[in-house]
Every structure is written in C-alpha cells, then in structure tokens.
Structure 1
C-alpha cells in the first residue's frame, strides 16, 4: 500500500538543510514539510517564513514528539548525528541523514541498529549517486565500455575557508569528512569494492588562523588507496581554494577512460583584443548538484511511501566513515593503514 503523503521535519536549517527544505516544500511528489528545528530561533524563523510553515522547534526532542511527522532530514554538524538519528528511530520516524554519517564506526553501527530495531528507513546523503552524469558513468563502467576498471581518481576542492569549529579535527574529522566523504563514496561505488589500504598526506596552506591552536588541522589532502578487488584509488581534496567549486572524476579502464565534471560553468567564453580569455566558473556545490539533491529527496520519499529499500544505506555511510578515520590516522602516523 502506497502512503498518500510523507510529512517531513527538517532538523538543521543551514545552507544544506534549506536545499532539502525547499525541495520538500514544493518539488518532491508525495511529500510535505510541516516543521523545522534548529537551535537558533532566528534560523528557525527565517526557514519557516521561506518554506511557508508555522511549526518550529529549537530542541529536536520536542520536534520528534509530533505524531504527524513521518520522517526527518538531519542536517546538523556531524557530532550530533548519532543522538538525533537514534532518537528519531526510537520515535518511529524515517531518516535521511546528511553525510558524514557520524564521527566513527561505532556511532554508525549504533544508528544502523536503532533504525533496524525500530523498522524505519535510514538513508545517507551521498547525493552524487543521484546526479545524472554520475549515474551514466556508473552504467557505462558496468557495461564494460572502458574495459576492466584500473583506477578511480576523485577530486573535490571547495572555495570557502572552513568554519572555526571545523579546525578541531576531533570535532569535525577534518576535510576528509566534511568535503571528501563524497569522493570516498564515489570511489567505493565506482570500484564495486571496499577500501583495503589507504595512505594520506595533508597540510594547512590557506588557514593561517588555525596553525597555532590547531596544528593538526589540514585544508589540503591527498589519499591513495587500494581496493579489495585490486582497483586503485586517488583522492584530491581541498578547502579555501577560492577559485571556484571544483568536483571532477576520472575513471581509467583497460580500454579507455570516463571523465566527469568541469570547472567551467557555462560554455560561453570571452576572448579580448589583449589576448585575454575568460569563462564562468562553478562557484558552489549548491548550484552544481541542485538536481542531484532533488533526485535524492524524491528517492527517499519513494522508499518511505512504497516501503521499499533506500538506495544509499547506513552501511554506505559506515564504510565512508571508516575510510575517513583511517585517512586521518595515516596523516598523523605517516603509515599505510589497513582497513
């Protein structure tokens, strides 16, 4: 039996949260956002005004008491994911949890267990799996279009300087989690295998304010990997690059390669008489993956309405967090880390 409508509570009204909020307000069939929760009363009021709703909460525990709510979208700092997701599961709410899933593997396992025990859906927010170009690349790869897979290289570089709370690696897990969780999941998805070994190098090149109090903080990272099936992986991540939002993937096979992504935003290029050349550059992940977020939200609601499987599971989130933790360990120790 298909459920007529899924009532959504948004927990976390920041930039990413509002992407989901806008989708559920008007663009997701069979869904309706009925409440928003954020510790900031100002953020709640702004979100409610934009989304056209009246019910706001500053405490997620109070929001979960609303029996009208069928599902929650958790878009808070990572350190709070475990407690919110477990509470939501116990309240019988289906869950879409943004990446990174949690701080460590144990927290992920507890979240998965809570969802299973309370018979609710748990989907993790790796929206690149819903991007049309990424889906097409996966189809081509699986069809053998480039032969046997050899290497997956994934790059994500963000333009903005990290928020101050992200400087503490123990609270944020660093750029490997905040920025490059998507790359880790992409590499795992395309390889069709699990990370077996990782070796990572990192440094702080842009964030001078963090060097004294947070000497372990890094804003650039390279992670090389081998998968259990022998495929090689390479991750290139950065924050604070300023030149634009850069997300690209190269898939190398024995008979060819597949390229994904382009820093140039539009095809319009300007040539000037002094020999100059300019073009528009992608400035934000919110713009680049706008439709992927929508497809992700549609897929989640479809799974809830039809009682079907989610396409990105808690285990997918767990495996990415394991790689983040292993990569951070490798950065600190200088060693290859086996998973």
Structure 2
C-alpha cells in the first residue's frame, strides 16, 4: 500500500468542504487529490480554496483517477446509491454521508457492491465520534444509570432547506436530512433496535414550500418502541431561526444523563440592567468540528489497518428503514411496526 491514501470528495457544499479541509490538512496518512461537483464554478472554487490542482465535474472521471483510493460521498441523498456502487466497482473505499440512501434496496445494493469489491464502507454518523457521546455510551454500558428506560434526542437547525430538500421523493424530508443522527443515537446508545414508530409532522415555518410540496414538513415528533422494551422520542425541526440545537436525554432506572449544551464554550454575560446574555450555537459545523475530524481519521485508519469501520452500512440501512417508517406513519396516521419487541 502507498504511504498515504489518496482521497476525493464528491460534493463541494458545506459538509463536503468540512471533509475536504480535514483530508487536505489534518488527517494523517491521507492526501486530498481532487474534489468533484457538477457545478464547474463550485468545483473550481473549492479546489482553489483547498489549494489542490485537480477538480472534476463528472464523478466518473474521479473513478478513473488511479491516484484516488477512497471517496467521500457528500451529495443529495438521491445520488448516493449510484455513486457508492460506482466507487466500489472502481475499487475505491467509501465514506458516505448520512442519510445513506433513499430506501432499503439502495442500501443493500451499496453494501453488496462494497462487499464484493472488498472495499470499506463507512456511514457518516459523526456524533459517534464526539467525546461527549462516546463518554455517555461508556457510562451507559457500565450501568451508571441502570437500565435505559427512555432516550429523547432532538436536532433543530436554523437553515432554510435547499429546494431539493422540499421534495420528499428526493430527500425523504427532515426525518432523513436532520434526524438520521437522532435515529442512530437511539440505536447506538440503547444497544437496541427500534421496533415500531409513530410520527406527527407539519409545516410551520416554510410557507414558501406549501404549494409545490404539500407533503413537506419542517417540524416532526417521532415516538419509538425499542426491542429492549425501552422508549424513544425524536424531535426535529428546520428553519428555527434561533440557532443550532442538538441535545439528548437518557433516563435510566438508577439515574439520568444529559448530552449537549447549546451554549457550551461560550461566555455568560450579566449586564447592569440585569439581563443575562449567553451566546447560542449557530451551526453544526462548529459544534461537531472535532467529531468530523475524528470520523475522517477513523475512516483512513480502517483502510490502513484493514478493519471494519465502527459505523457500517448496516447502521446506515437501519436508519433509512426507520426514516421511511416514520414518513409512512406521518402519511397514514398510524403506528408502523419494524420488528417484534423482545420477550421479557
């Protein structure tokens, strides 16, 4: 194997540039070779910002570039399946951002293609690499709060969705784009699968989407029954204006645990008029900056050490299945079963 892994990032948007900057400057044994974006302006601008020589507007050109051994897929979800299958066919390892794909069949295609090609497939659930989440998982597994009874996880973002996100046929909606992380959090922290879901949703803050995309929702609440017998609840929202908000509460038989402080690492100011001011987190890009780097480093380590990544295609597929079950529950107004709960 070469002394470094050549990396190409496909997608020069916000998340794509986080990964690209990491591989360009901060991930040991990795070298950013190229970026890909169908917009030549975006691709060229990204290459200039990253100070690299190569950019492509067609991902197939990157698949033919022998300097590239691994690709990072950071595009709209509807393209993930084809990009990952093409990368596997070209013998390139894959880190695919969440949501993994649109449905179970696409996930199966991606998993099988990577398995047959003998390449790694890692899914981008970066919260598993955040120190506070890692420590919470360690304490839960050590029994510090007893048996897990309830996990509540919320993610609310300030951004107005891009046009394609309004179309559930292309994005699977906020349950996928925003709450995939929360779904994975429930599974990972509980060590249990989600057996059934019931979800409610509505559009409160994005009236511009209502006419063309009547099924779009910007607010969703999903309740879940876990196979362990525990309960789960997910709260998701977009275009909330007040900042980026991600928190988790884990209730156990012997205690409770909290993850996330929207104002952490920020000064608290009390003024002469007795007003208390505490800045609020404005972006996931800053809140999870170190987690993204740790995730990218883990991907390269998994390739070099020839081991299975900590977040697999199976994890991605389970989240996709739950997203689709939640969207079905919203449409039909009913509980949707995925698995039978364990006897006990």
The normalised TM-score by structure 1 is 0.98
Q: Deviation digits for residues 138-174 of structure 1, max 9, x if unmatched?
A: 0000000000110111000001111111111111100
**Once the two structures are superposed, what CA deviation does each residue of 1:207-227 show, in whole Å capped at 9, x if it has no partner?**
011111211110000000011
What is the CA–CA distance in structure 2 between the aligned matches of 1:266 and 1:145, rounded to whole Å? 26
Q: Could you list the per-position Cα deviations for residues 169-212 of structure 1 after superposition, in whole angstroms to 9, with x for gaps in the alignment?
A: 11110000000000000111011111100000001000011111
Determine the structure 1 residue equivalent to 2:178.
Answer: 179
Q: CA deviation at 1:68?
A: 1.3
Q: How far is 1:231 from its partner?
A: 1.2
Matched, 1:115 2:114: yes
Separation (CA, whole Å) in 2 of partners of 1:264 and 1:303? 34
* Superposition map of 1:154-303 within 5 A: 154-303=153-302
Q: Structure 1 residues 201-210 or 259-268, which shifts more?
A: 259-268
What secondary structure sits across from 2:72 in the alignment? strand
Q: State the Cα distance separating 1:73 from its structure 2 match.
A: 0.3
Q: Distance in 2 between matches of 1:228 and 1:165?
A: 34
Query: What does residue 151 of structure 1 align with?
Result: 150
Alignment map for 1:40-119 (pairs within 5 Å) = 40-119=39-118
CA positional deviation for 1:274: 2.4
Taking the aligned partners of 1:281 and 1:230, their CA distance within structure 2 comes to 35
**C-alpha separation between the residues in 2 aligned to 1:5 and 1:266?**
35
Contact 1:4 1:305 in 2 (8 A): no
Conserved 8 A contact 1:37-1:44: yes
Structure 2 distance, partners of 1:263, 1:243, is 11
Is residue 305 from structure 1 mapped to residue 298 from structure 2 by the alignment? no
Is the deviation greater in 257-266 or in 105-114? 257-266
Q: Distance in 1 between matches of 2:266 and 2:124?
A: 30
What CA deviation, in whole Å up to 9, does each residue of 1:63-110 have, x standing for no partner? 100111100000000000000000000000000000000001110000
The reply to whether residue 333 of structure 1 matches residue 332 of structure 2 is yes
Q: Give the root-mean-square deviation of aligned CA atoms.
A: 0.9
| 2-structure distance, mates of 1:109, 1:129 | 23
Q: Distance in 1 between matches of 2:272 and 2:8?
A: 55
- 1:35 maps to 34
In the alignment, what sits opposite 1:19? 18
Task: Quote the Cα distance in structure 1 between the aligned partners of 2:257 and 2:264.
Answer: 19
Please state whether the residue corresponding to 1:319 is helix, strand or coil: helix
**How far has the Cα of 1:272 moved from its partner?**
2.1
Tell me, in whole angstroms, the C-alpha distance in 2 between the residues paired with 1:318 and 1:330: 18
Find the counterpart in structure 1 of residue 341 from structure 2: none
Q: Does 196-205 or 163-172 show the bigger shift? A: 163-172
> 2: distance between equivalents of 1:110 and 1:233?
29
The more displaced of 156-165 and 280-289 is: 156-165
Is 1:4–2:3 an aligned residue pair?
yes
Structure 2 segments unaligned to the other structure (5+ residues)? 339-344
Q: What's the secondary structure of 1:264's corresponding residue?
A: coil
| Residue of structure 1 equivalent to 2:322 | 323
Residues 237-291 of structure 1: per-residue CA shift (max 9 Å, x gap):
0001010100000011000011000111434212223232211110000000000
Question: Is the 1:8–1:34 Cα contact (8 Å) retained in structure 2?
Answer: yes
Is the Cα–Cα contact under 8 Å of residues 266 and 281 in structure 1 kept in the other structure? no
What's the offset of the Cα at 1:3?
5.1
The whole-number CA distance in structure 1 between the counterparts of 2:61 and 2:23 is 21
Name the SS of the counterpart of 2:265 in structure 1: strand
